[in-house]
Amino acid sequence: MEYLDIKVNNGLDFDLIDEPYVVKKYAKDWYASNNWSFDFLKNLDRNFSVNTIVGNAATGNTQIVSLKFKDYIDKIISSEASSFLSTFYLFKKFPQLKSHINYENIKKNSVIRHLLGWIGPKGTITGFHCDWSENINIQIKGKKIFYLVSPEFNKFMYISKRFERISWTSHIDLKNFDEKKFPLFKQVKVFKIILDEGDAIYIPRGWWHYVESLEPSINVSVHYWTLRSIFKDLIIELIKVFFHDVGIYKKKNCSCHTNNSQGKRVKRG
């Protein structure tokens, strides 16, 4: 397995190219970068609940734990959190927060955009997956390390048959890598970079990425589609999501749902 550096790009337009790159301090002037904190988020609404996960969401080896949002944030602040909040519809729950970020440069290259929040303690992991969208990740607070793999190595990635929303997942877990079980992965070239506060990373459609929080972290991702990719990817994927959510397609074989203590099927986020 070979580790490579990711290119740093000083531009801000996020041109659609076939390799990832980082824009340093892309969000340094955002209101979110200068004003968001864990206390700020906690005080947005102290009464609603979120479904956090324990484990690696991409592999499906998870448990969903429902918590009050304010209690979850308190656990992060006190370093007691054992679960994390992934694929959280932060801007749907709090639409006023859209004015705190500036993604005009992303809008110029897209027709549809989907905003997500990632809020978690140190050590949280999102396992290897690839998205059927262009993807910009912006680090608001804390640091994350990203490992990326080109789709040219798909045949070495041990792709899972589990359902994931508009994504594929992999059986490879970098933190618990079993060389005997997954020998072909040794042939993969892995790009690696640490995202600091204010940095943004462009992840092209179909590129695998594995992410670990090095510190308590607040991150925003913007998934977006061009007119061509709407017909190539998005429509088909949304049909799959609909049938999965109503329990027709891969109801018991996914990374996004599990049963809670009452035996009810619940979705993370």
Q: CATH number for the domain including 142? A: 2.60.120.650
Dihedral sign from CA coordinates of 266, 37, 20, 227: positive
Residue type, 149: V
Number of domains in the chain: 1
Give the three-class secondary structure for 67. Answer: strand
| Banded pLDDT at 185 (limits 50, 70, 90) | very high
For residues 67 and 48, what is the distance between their CA atoms, to the nearest angstrom? 9
Cross-sheet strand order for the sheet of 21-23: 7-8, 21-23, 200-203, 134-141, 217-225, 112-120, 85-88
Residue pLDDT, tens place only, 93-103: 999 999 999 98
Work out the mean pLDDT of the chain and round it to a whole number.
Answer: 88
Residue 13's pLDDT is 62
Residue 213's pLDDT is 94
Residue 55 has pLDDT above 80, yes or no: no
Query: Does residue 266 sit within a domain?
Result: no
Query: Does residue 202 sit within a domain?
Result: yes
**Global model pTM greater than 0.85:** yes
Q: Please enumerate, as own/partner, the contacts of 230-235 that have beta carbons within 8 Å and a separation of 24 or more.
A: 230/111, 230/112, 233/132, 233/133, 233/166, 233/205, 234/112, 234/132, 234/133, 234/166
Extended strands (E) in 12-60: 21-23, 49-56
For residues 202 and 160, what is the distance between their CA atoms, to the nearest angstrom? 24
Average pLDDT over residues 231-258: 89
**Which residue did the predictor score with more confidence, 82 or 107?**
107
Query: Does residue 267 sit within a domain?
Result: no
Residue 106's pLDDT is 85
For residues 33 and 38, what is the distance between their CA atoms, to the nearest angstrom? 12
Residue 232: φ, ψ to 5°: -75, -40
Query: Does residue 269 sit within a domain?
Result: no
- CA distances 268 to 33, 56, 161, 227, Å, are 26, 12, 19, 29
Q: Are the C-beta atoms of 253 and 169 separated by less than 8 Å?
A: no
Query: Does residue 268 sit within a domain?
Result: no
For residues 251 and 229, what is the distance between their CA atoms, to the nearest angstrom? 26
Q: Are the C-beta atoms of 110 and 40 separated by less than 8 Å?
A: no
Question: Structural domain of residue 225, as residue ranges?
Answer: 2-259
Residue type, 7: K
**Which residue did the predictor score with more confidence, 59 or 183?**
183
**Which has the closest alpha carbon to 140: 200, 91, 96, 88?**
200
Query: Does residue 108 sit within a domain?
Result: yes
Query: Does residue 264 sit within a domain?
Result: no
The DSSP code for 231 is I
Residue 32's pLDDT is 97
- CA distances 104 to 11, 42, 114, 115, Å, are 13, 27, 14, 13
Query: Does residue 237 sit within a domain?
Result: yes
Average pLDDT over residues 77-105: 87
Residue 60 has pLDDT above 60, yes or no: no
